[in-house]
A and B are shown apart, each in its own frame.
Chain A
């Protein structure tokens, strides 16, 4: 039974990811006074891509073919770790938050290699920039997450969420720092404005798009879906880690469906905020990104220190 719910939750994660992307696009369009495509448009795009014949460069090696599958698999694994609507899933014990970061690193490793595989300048450019940004973002993310896990003295996400639920509504100043750090990192890692622009078509500013420039057909569908999933993963991580109220602690139908409704509300609020930010802020220069991520890291560090100095029981 528990396993069935765990699998159901993962499937739900994967199935809802394009919807979140569609809703985000809807919000952005409305903010920019444009007519929005249907919420279901990302699903149609994915379906169209899977039906198309992939066109692949003659320079491609096996790694180029395999990478999309690996990337998507890693995102699915990450989805099994993050509690979506219920805590204490059997799958969540198999990996903690450090492994979660490891899954993202795994996917990124292959994405960057795939970018280098064809041997064009754009691919290399994208890989180089992606690895640069992620190597600055990863410590900031771990700092933010460690603040939470140290409070809960538990690096399992489920355990950390349960600890926060049970500790009542005490205000932790460290959580505020960690929350902002994690939001900054999430924006950078999912390739949103101001770090990267997912809709850009100007090659020199591309990061994520430059790496996947050579992909088409079902391979592109997998990569696109994986990046939508990544956005959702970060959204759920922020929503459930910092605002866990409403998540199901027992596997009854009532609790689960209530949790789903609450989760949808949380994600709607988050995506409205993200759309607002993306509309209000301009993309920054590549060499400003380290200041941005340095700030995120500093916030994470401040969170950690304020936990140690202010909140620790000793």
Chain B
């Protein structure tokens, strides 16, 4: 039954793709199918998480001797739930957004076709129980999303981003195939059950882990192989960016978790250390780069790098605990990582949809050209604020809970025997603290410059609130979830204990408390958090304050023009800009960036003092472009040139090649 729900979700998203292709007059059906697909995915996910029996099936598709193996367990169900929520919400948002932006029916069909295929691909990845089907679904997801990235292909920068995306996706896929291949060579068959039972030596296991980490890490956007992500995600339409950043990265994480925790027969603490280090670097550099961006969607994409980094970091912790036989703590780490993945999907979707709404109303994504939107778009601003507060991990919101759990995991380090690990994990916890604080600074900048202050351009000045109810309902649902799961995280955490018992055969410690009121992951004596009690005390305190200060006796505030120090003529250009806001941090963390800052002064009448004009230009580049990508690109070009030498164009040479090959093969056969 539950499996049928999951199948229906896949079929419905395919149906939405087909309907888009048929170009009937009932375009609304496309979105109806999409919404139903999301709803079915939610139902299947929740059903399986509550039921907790592993469902197995075979579908006679694909190669004749290799039917598709299907398996639906807690981990797949949880990620299907994430996809379901995102797709359900996007189906409300997309109709208005696509109809308004795409006047001609052709591009509408293209967009909806590939959206449907993309979603079906992601869902199939979660259902796959053999490497063969996994890769087909993975490729469906990658290639369909390539067309979505290349959707606005009129712009050459978008074409370039899309090509980079496809290239990285395919290189990643190759690495994943190799990883599966390494494990499969010690097993009989490609089914996941066979891979689990493989008698693989440790050295090959580590090689497989490395390949999988690179392959899935490329898709998930781990530093230093993340460079495609901030290029590709922003150029797609906003609801697609939301799906890509919020959900597709999670599918890559699913692959990593499935491969490392489930398929490989054992884990080693050294892998955990690798994950911990890469995660820490990704988290820190992700948020530092995010902060320096002026384009809102690029900023959000970099912030995804940060959040994926946090998740990978906690996964590393979990792996270290698992390898040291502290299964309960490993379960805690896994729960923290999965919950953060869930939360990130919620608030990143919310923020991307919010960015879409801003773009829809102002045709502007440059933070420095916006401002003052809190008055023009009041409802959007509240929703966006909730997203910013969740992602900055402020208490009472969901982002805080998962980060709190991550800290609790890291603080259990005292149980480990290895001194190096025990001193390394606290350092990464401090890096996590730095990341969280920088994220808060980053999103103060985002909200402050976009919504507060005075409009910096005519577009921002003339912006109006979204008038479509369906477009508004999508972020409302997400914002409600962000708040609800911040107050009652136990709803999701309870479901997650089923996942960990499947994957690593352990649940949270016996003494842990997960009630709607209390959250104590280890024991009530060690650490406890009660968001609901805090919410109640916030409300009481605020009411008392309001009663005393805003009651009957209070004088009404006098509204006056802003004090301009007597100089007159305050202008919007006097406000802080994005570059100005981040200047202190840019200077402090200068080595993290490649900064090209130019100040050109033109003097009046050849004097040295009288400045006529000042030009300021700032260009910030990612280290991994220059130090990782470009050397590889040059290397590939050089090798290609060398290989090109054998292509003489002379037919006799080619006959010679054939002959040589034939002789070589005959020799090999004769051996």
Interface of A toward B, CB cutoff 8 Å = 50, 52-63, 65, 69-70, 72-73, 76-77, 80, 91, 93-96, 98-99, 101-103, 105-106, 108-109, 112-113, 115-121, 123-125, 127-129, 131-132, 134-139, 142-143, 146, 149-150, 153-156, 159, 214, 217-218, 222, 286-287, 290, 297, 300-301, 304-305, 308-309, 312, 314
Contacts and interface: CB of A to CB of B under 8 A. Distances in A.
Interface in B556-615: 556-563, 570, 572, 574-576, 580-585, 587-588
A116 B555 contact: no
A106 B453 CA distance: 20
Contacts of A60: 559
Interface stretch (B21-29, B348-356, B428-436): B428-436
Nearest to B533: A94
A108 B441 CA distance: 10
Contact of B557 (A55, A101, A155, A309): A55
B423 A116 contact: no
A121 B576 contact: yes
A132 B588 contact: yes
A105 B392 contact: yes
Contact of B394 (A58, A72, A106, A301): A106
A56 B588 contact: no
B422 interface: yes
B303 to A, nearest CB: 15
Interface string B514-531: 000000000011111110
A305 B588 contact: no
Contacts of B542: 69-70, 73
B68 to A, nearest CB: 45
A156 B528 contact: yes
Nearest to A203: B565
Given A121-B575, A217-B557, 8 more contacts: A61-B452, A94-B537, A98-B408, A112-B448, A131-B441, A138-B433, A142-B430, A286-B584
Contacts of B581: 124, 127-128
Contact of B371 (A77, A93, A95, A119): A119
B400 interface: yes
A163 B581 CA distance: 43
A287 B587 contact: yes
Given A72-B545, A153-B526, A58 B557 contact: no
27 contacts: A54-B557, A55-B560, A59-B454, A95-B529, A95-B534, A98-B404, A102-B394, A102-B395, A119-B570, A124-B453, A124-B575, A128-B445, A128-B580, A131-B441, A132-B584, A135-B440, A136-B437, A137-B437, A139-B430, A142-B429, A150-B413, A153-B414, A155-B407, A155-B411, A155-B526, A218-B549, A308-B413
B550 to A, nearest CB: 8
Interface of B: 371-372, 374-375, 389, 392-396, 400, 404, 407-408, 411, 413-414, 417, 419, 422-423, 426-427, 429-431, 433-434, 436-438, 440-441, 444-445, 447-449, 451-454, 524-530, 533-534, 537-538, 541-542, 545-546, 549-550, 554-563, 570, 572, 574-576, 580-585, 587-588
Contacts of A70: 542
A98 B407 contact: yes
Given A117-B452, A121-B574, A127-B444, A314 B417 contact: yes
A255 B385 CA distance: 46
B562 A58 contact: yes
A116 to B, nearest CB: 3
Identify which of B375, B530, B562, B570 gathers the most chain A CB atoms within 10 Å of its CB: B562
A54 B555 contact: yes
Given A143-B426, A314-B417, A93 B528 contact: yes
B616 to A, nearest CB: 16
Contacts of B528: 93-94, 96, 156
A290 B588 contact: yes
Task: Decide if the interface of chain A is mainly helix, strand, loop or mixed.
Answer: helix
Contacts of B422: 308, 312
Closest 6 CB pairs of A and B: A124-B576, A116-B448, A119-B453, A135-B437, A131-B441, A119-B454
Contacts of A62: 374
Contacts of B404: 98-99, 102
Contact of B529 (A96, A137, A300): A96
A308 B419 CA distance: 8
A160 B419 CA distance: 24
Task: Decide if the interface of chain B is mainly helix, strand, loop or mixed.
Answer: helix
A53 B558 contact: yes
A59 B448 CA distance: 13
A54 B557 CA distance: 5
A48 to B, nearest CB: 13
Contact of A95 (B429, B530, B580, B587): B530
B572 A119 contact: yes
B576 A125 contact: yes
A290 B586 CA distance: 12
Contacts of A118: 453, 562
Contacts of A309: 419, 423
B444 A61 contact: no
B411 A93 contact: no
Contacts of B583: 128
A194 B208 CA distance: 53
B591 to A, nearest CB: 12
Contacts of A63: 374, 452
Nearest to B582: A128
B592 to A, nearest CB: 13
A100 to B, nearest CB: 9
A255 to B, nearest CB: 23
A70 B447 CA distance: 17
Contacts of B580: 124, 128
B546 A69 contact: yes
Contact of A103 (B395, B453, B563): B395
Contacts of A153: 414, 526
Given A54-B555, A94-B530, A125-B576, A109 B411 contact: no
Nearest to A58: B559
B560 A109 contact: no
B291 to A, nearest CB: 10
B70 to A, nearest CB: 41
A3 B141 CA distance: 55
B432 to A, nearest CB: 8
Identify which of A50, A125, A132 gathers the most chain B CB atoms within 10 Å of its CB: A132
B434 A69 contact: no
B449 A116 contact: yes
A65 B556 CA distance: 12
Contact of A301 (B427, B436, B527, B555): B427
Given A108-B440, A131-B440, A120 B562 contact: yes
Contacts of B436: 105, 138
Contact of A149 (B411, B423, B447): B411
A96 B431 CA distance: 20
Identify which of B392, B394, B576 gathers the most chain A CB atoms within 10 Å of its CB: B576
Contacts of A127: 444, 448, 576, 581
A62 B557 CA distance: 13
A156 B396 CA distance: 18
A217 B538 CA distance: 23
Contacts of B557: 53-56, 65, 217
B394 to A, nearest CB: 5
Given A128-B584, A135-B585, A53 B555 contact: yes
A219 B588 CA distance: 33
A53 to B, nearest CB: 4
A203 B394 CA distance: 30
Given A121-B574, A127-B576, A135 B434 contact: yes
B552 to A, nearest CB: 14
